[in-house]
């Protein structure tokens, strides 16, 4: 019998941005849950010093020292950086015809159209901001009050870093969302899953070249709803 041609796949393996998503993003979700637990404990603890106990006595204590909170915030920032880097990797992959079978940069116009290429620039700036926030604030050190207060948790600094990181990460998510919706629209059969329905309803159906600032702004609207799906 004649030898049959060996079928070859389009690629040997998928990029890490898709394969390692559960491990990386799952860690970020676990870090969020850990932070939630610690905040719930800390917010219900007395922080005034000395504290007036139910027995009428005053006690000096260190309940105000928010080391658990600082460490949890630092851990979340590091986990967020990991998942942000994979988000950028997925966005870059969506613009590659050899991976998607779609036009370069998901462009639908004539040769030379830029499609979603500009999103890569905005998206790559976000992890840079998250990375700057991921330097653990809890490694800080301070000695005050003639040495009686010989260390500090720097939880306030960690909280500010987390706030900045969350804002940058949200921008990154909108970039990826715009690209994902466009990629799925370029397929012959768009998916019917609720996530796509919600996202597609919020974004313009047109895929011609245009400034994408408006798309990014609009894409922030369904983020909370998508997070619940």
- Residue 62: count of CB within 10 angstroms of its CB: 8
What integer pLDDT is reported at residue 75 of this predicted model? 97
Nearest-5° Cα angle at 38, 34 to 42: 170
Task: Yes or no: say if 216 and 122 are a contact pair by the CB < 8 Å rule.
Answer: yes
What integer pLDDT is reported at residue 92 of this predicted model? 95
Q: What is the mean pLDDT of residues 115-126?
A: 93
Residue 98 has pLDDT above 70, yes or no: yes
Parse the chain into domains and list their residue ranges.
Answer: 16-169
What integer pLDDT is reported at residue 63 of this predicted model? 79
Q: Which residue has the higher pLDDT, 164 or 51?
A: 164
Q: What is the mean pLDDT of residues 128-132?
A: 96
Lookup result for tokens 């030898």: 3
- What is the SS3 assignment for 114? coil
Distance CA 145, CA 166 (A): 34
What global pTM score does this model have?
A: 0.85
CATH code for the part of the protein at 16-169:
1.20.200.10
Residue 2 has pLDDT above 60, yes or no: no
Residue 215 has pLDDT above 60, yes or no: yes
């Amino acid at each position: 019998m004649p030898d049959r041609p060996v079928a070859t796949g389009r690629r040997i393996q998928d990029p890490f941005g898709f394969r390692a998503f559960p491990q990386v993003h799952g860690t970020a979700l676990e870090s969020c849950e850990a932070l939630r637990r610690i905040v719930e404990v800390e917010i219900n603890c007395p922080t005034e010093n000395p504290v007036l106990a139910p027995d009428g006595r005053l006690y000096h204590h260190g309940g105000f020292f928010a080391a658990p909170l600082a460490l949890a915030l630092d851990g979340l920032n590091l986990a967020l950086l990991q998942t942000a880097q994979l988000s950028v990797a997925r966005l870059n992959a969506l613009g590659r015809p050899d991976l998607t079978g779609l036009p370069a940069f998901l462009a639908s116009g004539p040769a030379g159209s830029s499609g979603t290429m500009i999103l890569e620039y905005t998206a790559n700036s976000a992890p840079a901001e998250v990375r700057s926030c991921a330097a653990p604030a809890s490694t800080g050190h301070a000695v005050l009050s003639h040495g009686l207060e010989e260390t500090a948790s720097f939880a306030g600094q960690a909280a500010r870093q987390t706030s900045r990181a969350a804002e940058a990460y949200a921008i990154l998510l909108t970039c990826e969302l715009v690209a994902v919706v466009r990629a799925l629209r370029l397929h012959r059969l768009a998916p019917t899953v609720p996530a796509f329905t919600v996202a597609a309803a919020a974004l313009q159906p047109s895929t011609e070249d245009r400034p994408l600032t408006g798309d990014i702004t609009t894409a922030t609207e369904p983020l909370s709803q998508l997070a619940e799906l």
